[in-house]
């Protein structure tokens, strides 16, 4: 079952409204603080570093371009056409390819895998922003893209992040400026239990090869000038150990 049209429209509305100014989107922190931190953890587990790399849920492509500097064939995939418009405009050198992709739709994953073959996949903060019924299909698509030789690096908000986000949303001053559009468009981060993500991966036939905890860095700051960081979990998974 593909994602609901309401959900797709929520993302389209969000990205149509989003500024192209770097750092204007709540989770779109500079790569040195995000994928640049994740990549050393991922690279040590790559069985085939030369495979295509898919940035699944690439949004406006900030992390995709960083990856394209380091891997020969990178594809940014996202549900939102408006997000991909941002990504293509920002990628003036055409370093990566961009693909409209519904991660909950099996046919989309099978088609992309048929084109690329097995791929390594980077997915940051996508599951917790999915409708609950779309989470396992999304991870099944992730597994289809990985195939036999690829590896997946998955970063998701920890359960504890929910408390932080609720506190920010319910602040007397209202949510921080960069978080407000997320709630306004009806794509407020959902809550995925810490135990659920490994279960989704195993159900999709993947083996967890490594895991750990890191803060997920945002682009927003508290009133006293501290950057907002959210607890997150990361996992590396593949078809075989």
Taking only the tens place, the pLDDT of each residue in 129-169 is: 888 888 999 999 999 999 999 999 999 999 888 888 888 87
Tell me the CATH number at 71: 3.40.50.150
Mean of pLDDT values over 66-83 = 96
**CB under 8 Å to 17, separation ≥6 — which residues?**
181, 185
Look at residue 53 and tell me whether its pLDDT is greater than 80: yes
Predicted pLDDT of residue 2: 46
Mean of pLDDT values over 2-29 = 84
Both tokens of 184, joined, read 């306004």
Predicted pLDDT of residue 181: 86
Look at residue 214 and tell me whether its pLDDT is greater than 90: yes
Predicted pLDDT of residue 240: 76
Fill in the DSSP letter of residue 3: P
Higher pLDDT, 81 or 179: 81
Look at residue 218 and tell me whether its pLDDT is greater than 80: yes
Higher pLDDT, 183 or 226: 226
Predicted pLDDT of residue 142: 97
Strand partners, 3: none
Name the phi and psi angles at 124, rounded to 5: -120, 115
Look at residue 191 and tell me whether its pLDDT is greater than 80: no
- CB burial string 18-44: b at 16+ within 10 A, e below: beeeeeebbbbbebeebbebbbebbee
**Number of separate domains in the chain:** 1
Predicted pLDDT of residue 230: 92
Domain range for 30 is 5-238
Computed over every residue of the chain, the mean pLDDT equals: 91
Look at residue 121 and tell me whether its pLDDT is greater than 50: yes
**Cα–Cα distance, 26 to 43 (Å, whole number):** 27
Both tokens of 189, joined, read 């981060």
């Amino acid at each position: 079952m593909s994602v609901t049209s309401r959900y797709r429209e929520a993302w389209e509305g969000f990205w149509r409204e989003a500024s192209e100014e770097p750092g204007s989107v709540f989770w779109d922190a500079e790569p040195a603080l995000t994928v640049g931190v994740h990549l050393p953890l991922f690279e040590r587990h790559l069985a085939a570093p030369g495979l295509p790399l898919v940035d699944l849920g690439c949004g406006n492509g900030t992390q995709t371009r960083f990856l394209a500097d380091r891997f020969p064939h990178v594809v940014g995939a996202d549900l939102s056409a408006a997000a991909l418009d941002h990504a293509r405009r920002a990628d003036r050198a055409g370093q990566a390819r961009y693909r409209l992709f519904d991660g909950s739709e099996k046919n989309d994953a099978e088609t992309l895998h048929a084109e690329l073959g097995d791929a390594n996949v980077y997915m940051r903060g996508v599951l917790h922003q999915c409708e609950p019924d779309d989470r396992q299909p999304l991870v099944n698509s992730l597994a289809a893209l990985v195939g036999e030789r690829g590896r997946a690096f998955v970063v998701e908000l920890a359960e504890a992040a929910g408390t932080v986000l609720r506190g920010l949303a319910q602040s007397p001053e209202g949510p921080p400026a960069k978080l407000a559009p997320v709630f306004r468009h009806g794509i407020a981060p959902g809550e995925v239990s810490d135990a659920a993500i490994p279960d989704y991966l195993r159900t999709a036939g993947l083996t967890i090869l490594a895991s750990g905890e890191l803060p997920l860095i945002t682009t927003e700051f508290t009133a006293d000038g501290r950057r907002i960081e959210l607890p997150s979990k990361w996992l590396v998974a593949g078809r075989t150990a």
